[in-house]
């Protein structure tokens, strides 16, 4: 069921005083839990829980041809599947807009930060490169899927290992496990933080009820130092210049707190 108008009104009233139903500040995330190495088949994997929201991300590698405009670079593909078990609002069938948007927003934060050194994934220029697949699965949706998924994606990447590859037979030896070599990453680790707007209040990490009431959303992928790699606006509300300044400040404060909590998983 959608959040009622009465609940929405009370949420907005609380927000106007800087309060939330669960007692958090406007720039605070819910309790965060992280688990890595949850899949034996994936090259890297992570489970992230934000409050009741939970996602699993797996990283797989394959071999393919490079794109014509980048013959000496590996490829990246991010997909998201919103499972019906994660919410009664999600139905079986082909991916709908929320799943497509989720995959694209997470992809943009990773791609534009250049955290993956794609040139080091080239096997033979113009003919053969490694392709990185990042697959996102929702386990429970209680709001904030974008940020939870983006966190799980970079954590899974940071903990991934290259599979064994036989150049003579041109085959990946999946059954023989992984090497000790990590996926080549740069120091430009991105964290994606989404700011929502209710009335004049700007806040991060919404519960599902807050997400329902939100009429504006801006997702920013940036580094610990605040260098912005990607920005995506969602929902219908207009965002003024002063509001945008507030969004950047709020997301930057929240991002620094996240980096402090996640640093051990991102090394």
Look up residue 64 and give its DSSP letter. Answer: E
- 142-162, pLDDT tens digit by residue? 999 999 999 999 999 999 999
Report, as an integer, the average pLDDT of 111-138: 97
- 166 beta partners: 171
Confidence check: pLDDT of 1 > 70: no
Residue 77: the pLDDT is 97
Tokens linked to 214: 């939100």
With tokens 């800087």, the residue in question is 18
Tokens linked to 238: 């207009």
3-state secondary structure of 201: strand
Domains and CATH numbers, the chain: 5-265 (3.30.230.70)
| DSSP per position, 23-63 | S--TT----EEEEE---SSSSEEEEEEETTEEEEEEEEEEE
pTM tops 0.85: yes
Reported confidence tier of residue 239, pLDDT bands at 50, 70, 90:
very high
Confidence check: pLDDT of 59 > 80: yes
| DSSP per position, 146-163 | HHHHHHHHHHHHHT-EEE
Q: With contact defined as beta carbons under 8 Å apart, do 29 and 23 qualify? A: no
Residue 33: the pLDDT is 98
């Amino acid at each position: 069921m959608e959040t009622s108008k009465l609940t929405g009104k009370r949420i907005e009233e609380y927000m106007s005083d800087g309060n939330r139903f669960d007692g958090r500040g406007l720039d605070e995330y819910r309790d965060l839990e992280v688990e890595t190495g949850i899949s034996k088949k994936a090259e890297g994997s992570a489970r992230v829980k934000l409050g009741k929201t939970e996602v699993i991300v797996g990283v797989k590698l394959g071999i393919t041809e490079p794109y014509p405009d980048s013959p000496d670079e590996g490829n990246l593909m991010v997909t998201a599947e919103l499972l019906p078990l994660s919410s009664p609002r999600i139905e079986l069938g082909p991916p709908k807009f929320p799943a497509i948007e989720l995959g694209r927003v997470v992809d943009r934060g990773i791609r534009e930060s250049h955290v993956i050194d794609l040139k080091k994934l080239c096997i033979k220029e113009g003919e053969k490169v490694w392709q990185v697949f990042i697959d996102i699965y929702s386990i429970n949706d209680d709001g904030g899927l974008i940020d939870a998924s983006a966190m799980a994606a970079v954590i899974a990447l940071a903990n991934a290992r290259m599979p064994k590859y036989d150049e003579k037979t041109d085959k990946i030896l999946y059954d023989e496990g992984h090497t000790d070599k990590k996926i080549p990453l740069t120091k430009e680790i991105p964290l994606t933080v989404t700011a929502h707007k209710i009335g004049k209040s700007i806040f991060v990490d919404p519960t599902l009820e807050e997400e329902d009431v939100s009429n504006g959303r801006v997702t920013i992928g940036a580094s610990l130092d605040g260098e912005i790699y990607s920005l995506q606006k969602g929902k219908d509300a207009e965002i003024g210049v002063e509001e945008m300044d507030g969004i950047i400040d709020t997301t930057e404060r929240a991002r620094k707190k996240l980096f402090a909590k996640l640093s051990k998983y991102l090394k």
